[in-house]
């Protein structure tokens, strides 16, 4: 693999920095994660990876880092608990997604911009870009807290992060959810992953009250008594 990543000094304050097993596992995932979307062939299956994702397993990480498989298993579990990465396991491999991937990724445009400027200017540009990204993106937990049916959390979180929902869109989602499912039994509410995939907050909201009004309006039309 070619290219490079960027690390912020705040990693020094992260609890994983003092645990070499956690740090080594995290750095391996970080360095192996894809910097762009592409398809890979694993066995007979084609797997689509998004930016910041890698398809791997405990054996592969163990062989690359020198850690035991048990150490890798424990480290991955702790990293997921700390919301540093998310794991979507399958029977043959796992899709690992790096949280806040953009903050570790050095883009080609940033490299180009750095050529005629000083290192200090590059650092400033990176901090500004990162600040704008963090300001515009709404954390998944905000959505999860307000969604009335909590299923498929991991897949929903991966989808949410790939969409990079901003504040304007999130306000639309809140307004839509407040009305759309207010009178709906939970068993009839679609899952959050389906909601996100279909961008359902853009759908028309049809309520029981609206239906009753239309029915009453039809019944009161002149001529109804004569079969018109």
Whether residue 157 sits in one domain with residue 93: no
Comparing CA positions, the residue from 161, 203, 210, 201 lying closest to residue 177 is 201
pLDDT confidence bin for 114, thresholds 50/70/90: very low
Q: Is 89 helix (H, G, I), strand (E, B) or coil?
A: strand
**112, part of any domain:** no
Q: Determine the structural domain holding residue 192 and report its residue range.
A: 130-208
Considering the domain architecture, whether residues 136 and 61 belong to the same structural domain is answered as no
Residues 152 and 90 in one domain: no
For the entire predicted model, the pTM comes to 0.46
Q: Are residues 172 and 95 in the same domain?
A: no
Last residue in a domain, options 103, 118, 147: 103
Is the distance from CB of 192 to CB of 147 less than 8 angstroms?
yes
What is each CA distance from 201 to 173, 205, 215, in whole angstroms?
A: 5, 9, 26
Helices 58-65, 20-32: axis angle to 10 degrees equals: 110
Residue 215 domain flag: no
Task: Indicate whether 98 and 154 sit together in one domain.
Answer: no
Q: Are residues 143 and 181 in the same domain?
A: yes
In a domain, 218, yes or no: no
Number of domains in the chain: 2
Are 135 and 170 in the same domain?
yes
Whether 83 and 137 share a structural domain = no
CATH (domain of 30): 1.10.10.10
pLDDT digits (tens, 9 = 90+) for 139-168: 888 899 899 999 999 999 999 989 888 888
Tell me, yes or no, whether 118 lies in a domain. no
pLDDT digits (tens, 9 = 90+) for 41-99: 887 778 899 988 999 999 999 999 999 999 999 999 999 999 999 999 888 889 999 99
Q: How far is CA 145 from CA 43, 125, 174, 209, in A?
A: 38, 34, 11, 27
Instruction: Indicate if 25 and 72 belong to the same structural domain.
Output: yes
Q: Is residue 216 part of a domain?
A: no
For residue range 163-192, what is the model confidence (pLDDT) as tens digits?
A: 888 888 988 998 999 888 888 888 889 999
Query: Is residue 124 included in any domain, yes or no?
Result: no
Q: CB atoms < 10 A from the CB of 72, how many?
A: 24
Is residue 73 assigned to a domain? yes
Do 96 and 142 share a structural domain?
no
Residue 1 lies in a domain: no
């Amino acid at each position: 693999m070619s290219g490079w990543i960027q690390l912020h000094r705040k990693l020094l304050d992260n609890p994983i920095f003092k645990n070499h097993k956690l740090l080594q596992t995290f750095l391996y995932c970080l360095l192996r994660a894809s910097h762009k979307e592409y398809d890979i062939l694993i066995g007979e299956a084609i797997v689509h990876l998004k930016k910041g994702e890698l398809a791997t397993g405990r054996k592969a990480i163990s062989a690359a880092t020198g850690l035991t498989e048990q150490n890798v298993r424990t480290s991955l579990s702790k990293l997921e608990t700390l919301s540093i990465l998310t794991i979507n396991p399958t029977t043959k491999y796992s899709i690992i997604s790096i949280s806040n991937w953009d903050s570790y990724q050095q883009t080609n445009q940033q490299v180009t911009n750095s050529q005629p400027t000083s290192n200090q200017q590059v650092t400033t540009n990176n901090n500004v870009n990162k600040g704008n990204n963090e300001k515009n993106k709404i954390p998944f937990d905000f959505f999860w807290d307000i969604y009335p049916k909590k299923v498929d959390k991991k897949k929903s979180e991966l989808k949410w992060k790939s969409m990079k929902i901003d504040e304007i869109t999130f306000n639309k989602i809140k307004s839509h959810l407040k009305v759309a499912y207010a009178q709906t039994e939970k068993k009839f509410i679609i899952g959050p992953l389906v909601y996100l995939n279909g961008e359902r907050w853009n759908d028309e909201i049809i309520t029981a009250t609206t239906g009753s009004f239309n029915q009453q309006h039809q019944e009161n039309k002149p001529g109804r008594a004569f079969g018109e």
